[in-house]
Amino acid sequence: MRFDVITLFPELFEPHTRSGVTRRAYDSGAIELKLWQLRDHADDAYRRVDDRPFGGGPGMVMLVEPLQRALAAVRADRGQAPVVHFTPTGQPLTQAVVQEFARGDGAVLLCARYEGVDQRLIDRHVDLELSLGDYVLSGGELPALVLLDAVARLLPGVLSEPSHAHDSFSDGLLEGPQYSRPEVLDGPGGPEAVPKVLLSGHHADIARWRREQALRTTALRRPDLIARARERGRLDARDEAFLSTLKL
């Protein structure tokens, strides 16, 4: 799949393609990433891509025309592809959205700066608006990197073990606690051992314990996700019996 990123800060993306497990997605060609410097599509000597908002107010707005030229250059290079604009007013970027991208052919990611983009560009060219959360960042680059990272780890061959099947949100629940060495940790409150079941070697018991811990964590922290899992028929009688024992 191919992602084209239109940005004023292409250098922010390079570390992501060179570090950690996601690097494999780029090295193997599972993701082709092409970065487009928006200023190359400005039409004046100052390479300006922003101007004052009509009607007044603070800050600057990104101009339609350089963005249109950049999009035309991307399309000439790769053909049609969905255009994604990151904005706090977009729909939340969830694991379900990420899974959809992981099944697709890629997209053009539009990273805004300043106070955002002239609405006419959005109306004419944008297919999907995504928000990272209810806070304001200084640009769309971090949201684009978050999407790329989350998609990359779902692609075949990127993770050495397919651990994402157990990740939070993959089955609609949050992940429960995890433990590694030492088996017993000394501390001021006395020695603390990992849960015995994890040392039992009994796979079915371990799977059940993990499911219950996921249910507990989700019920405590995100009861909305329990309600949604219930609506979607993802909780069975054993899950419901366990949930009914929790003192919330």
Ligand X SMILES: C[S@@+](CC[C@H](N)C(=O)[O-])C[C@H]1O[C@@H](n2cnc3c(N)ncnc32)[C@H](O)[C@@H]1O
In the complex, what is the shortest distance from the CB of residue 130 to ligand X, in angstroms, rounded to a whole number?
6
User: Least separation, in Å, of the C-beta of 235 and ligand X?
Assistant: 31
Contacts of 243 (CB under 8 A, 6+ apart): 215, 219, 226, 235
Contacts of 79 (CB under 8 A, 6+ apart): none
Is residue 86 within the footprint of ligand X (CB under 6 A)?
A: yes
Residues 6 or more apart whose CB falls under 8 angstroms from that of 135 comprise 88
d(CA 4, CA 117): 18
Identify whether 105 is a catalytic site residue: no
Q: Which of residues 26-55 bind ligand X (CB under 6 A)?
A: none
Note whether 112 binds ligand X by CB under 6 A. yes
Pick between residue 145 and residue 214 the one whose CB is nearest to ligand X: 145
Q: Is 115 a catalytic residue?
A: yes
Instruction: Give yes or no for residue 116 binding ligand X (CB under 6 A).
Output: yes
Instruction: Kindly state the number of chain residues that form the binding site for ligand X, as judged by CB under 6 A.
Output: 18
88 is catalytic: yes
Q: How far is the CB of 92 from ligand X (least distance, A)?
A: 9
Return the range that interacts with ligand X (CB under 6 A); candidates 84-92, 169-177, 211-219, 240-248.
84-92
The smaller minimum CB distance to ligand X, of residues 54 and 135, is found at 135
The closest alpha carbon to 115, from 84, 76, 83, 87, belongs to 87
Shortest Å distance, C-beta 59 to ligand X: 7
Is 135 a binding residue for ligand X by CB under 6 A? The answer is yes
Which of 129, 149, 167, 171 does the annotation list as catalytic?
Answer: 167
Residues 118 and 64: beta-carbon distance below 8 Å: yes
Binder among 17, 37, 99, 131 for ligand X (CB under 6 A): 131
**Using CA atoms, how far apart are residues 141 and 110, in angstroms rounded to an integer?**
8
* Known catalytic membership, residue 208: no
Catalytic residues: 88, 115, 153, 167
By CB under 6 A, name the binding residues for ligand X.
86-89, 112-113, 115-116, 131-133, 135-140, 143
